[in-house]
Amino acid sequence: MNNTPLRTLVQGIPKTELHLHIEGSFEPELMFEIAKRNNITLAYDSIESLKKAYTFNNLQEFLDIYYTGAQVLLHEQDFYDLTWAYLTTVHSENVVHVEVFFDPQTHTDRGVPFKTVITGIYNALEKAKSEYGITYKLIMSYLRHLSEEAAFKTLEESQPYKAWIDGVGLDSSEQGNPPSKFKNVFEASAKEGYKLVAHAGEEGPADYIWEALDVLNVVRIDHGNRCLSDDALVERLVKEQIPLTLCPTSNVALKVIDKMEEHPVAQMLDKGILATIHSDDPAYFGGYMNENYYQTASALNLSKEQIMQLAINGFKASWLTEDEKEAHITKVKAYFASID
């Protein structure tokens, strides 16, 4: 890097977040606060002891804690506070556009109505739009450890709120739950006008990425790390410029990679893959957008051009209009031209 310190450089980049589970932005402090007002006793007696539990050997160990944490969310205000806290944080990091996942089934299966969940999230997103100028899309994720029938029920519950939802995704335990399990519900979701994305190739094999593309017809792959084991797949991703929304601190925390120095993003950029960087579950993995950019750029010694490419790719991969994308990309380029 040249004269501008890396953290300063990263802070100034106008950024977009395309891979963020709102339940994964639940900071321990807010979790304790909401638990208290909802008269729920957490299994941990302090914020410190909760944080100590945040060491994971794989995706499932994380998911077990993540679903437990989400159980304190009961009321519309809780979902609002959760979302607002996230948006306030990323606004301070110069994130200007977000495409946020929520997991309706994590809540509806506990008896919290779909309406309660989505209204709280939606109101916070709208407030951030008017107060911070952050634009947004909302993505409803189906939990892949549950049945396709359960996903169909969620699709039906979403009907009254279709105007607020831009797309559907697929998350939770990947291994043993291939994309093809959700073929019919993705087809039905597309018919309702939802855009389609899916987590694939985080822990699961490259075959799951093929399935997400060919069976589910997704427009973007969440994670996709494992694509590098399959040359034909890489060729396809490059040719069709199918975005991969990578989450570096998540990959280290869940042991998808051993250390940040082994993150595949630089290799992916070299091959011409439309790779982007995001935070996944920042409250659990130790970093929001800036930290993900910082740690990746630092460990891989990325050049200014590579960092700029990642920021540009984020906007390219988003669901903004072509004009909106162009306007953001122009600002990214102007920013990089202004720093030394």
Positions touching ligand HPA (CB under 6 A) are: 21, 24, 59, 66, 171-172, 199, 202, 250, 280-281
Q: Select from 109, 42, 38 the least CA-distant residue to 73.
A: 38
248 binds, among Zn ion, ligand HPA, none (CB under 5 to 8 A by kind): none
Rounded Cα distance, 223 and 209, in Å: 10
Residues 6+ apart with CB under 8 A from 277: 246, 247, 248, 265, 289, 292, 293, 296, 310, 314
Q: From the CB of 77, what's the least distance to Zn ion, in Å? A: 25
CB atoms near residue 210 (< 10 Å) = 18
220 binds, among ligand HPA, Zn ion, none (CB under 5 to 8 A by kind): none
Nearest residue to ligand HPA by CB is 171
By C-beta, is 293 or 336 nearer to Zn ion? 293
Q: From the CB of 280, what's the least distance to Zn ion, in Å? A: 5
233 binds, among Zn ion, ligand HPA, none (CB under 5 to 8 A by kind): none
Rounded Cα distance, 181 and 189, in Å: 14
By C-beta, is 216 or 320 nearer to ligand HPA? 216
By C-beta, is 50 or 332 nearer to ligand HPA? 50
CA distances from 82 to 17, 65, 93, 182, 250 (A): 16, 17, 17, 29, 20
> With CB under 5 A as the contact rule, which of the stretches 72-80, 174-182, 190-198, 273-281 interacts with Zn ion?
273-281
> With CB under 5 A as the contact rule, which of the stretches 34-42, 225-233, 278-286, 287-295 interacts with Zn ion?
278-286
157 binds, among ligand HPA, Zn ion, none (CB under 5 to 8 A by kind): none
202 binds, among ligand HPA, Zn ion, none (CB under 5 to 8 A by kind): ligand HPA
Unique residue bearing structure tokens 């089934």: 105
Q: From the CB of 52, what's the least distance to Zn ion, in Å? A: 23
Q: From the CB of 223, what's the least distance to ligand HPA, in Å? A: 7
Instruction: Output the DSSP codes for 249-298.
Output: HHHHHTTSSSSGGG-THHHHHHHT--EEE--BSHHHHT--HHHHHHHHHH
Question: Does the active-site annotation cover 202?
Answer: yes
Q: From the CB of 186, what's the least distance to Zn ion, in Å? A: 17
By C-beta, is 204 or 320 nearer to ligand HPA? 204
Q: From the CB of 327, what's the least distance to Zn ion, in Å? A: 28
Catalytic pick among 76, 93, 99, 202: 202
- 193 backbone φψ class: left, alpha, beta (φ>0; ψ -120 to 50): left
295 binds, among ligand HPA, Zn ion, none (CB under 5 to 8 A by kind): none
> By CB under 5 A, how many residues form the interface with Zn ion?
1
Phi, psi for 22 (deg, rounded to 5): -60, -35
By CB under 5 A, tell whether 280 contacts Zn ion: yes
Helix 183-191 to helix 148-157 angle (10° resolution) is 20
By CB under 5 A, tell whether 23 contacts Zn ion: no
CB-based contact 276:307 (threshold 8 Å): no
By C-beta, is 21 or 107 nearer to ligand HPA? 21
Rounded Cα distance, 266 and 304, in Å: 12
Q: Select from 226, 183, 221 the least CA-distant residue to 207.
A: 226
What are the residues facing 221 on neighbouring strands?
A: 198, 244
By C-beta, is 268 or 332 nearer to Zn ion? 268
Question: Which amino acid makes up residue 45?
Answer: D
Contacts with Zn ion, residue ranges (CB under 5 A): 280
List the catalytic residues. Answer: 202
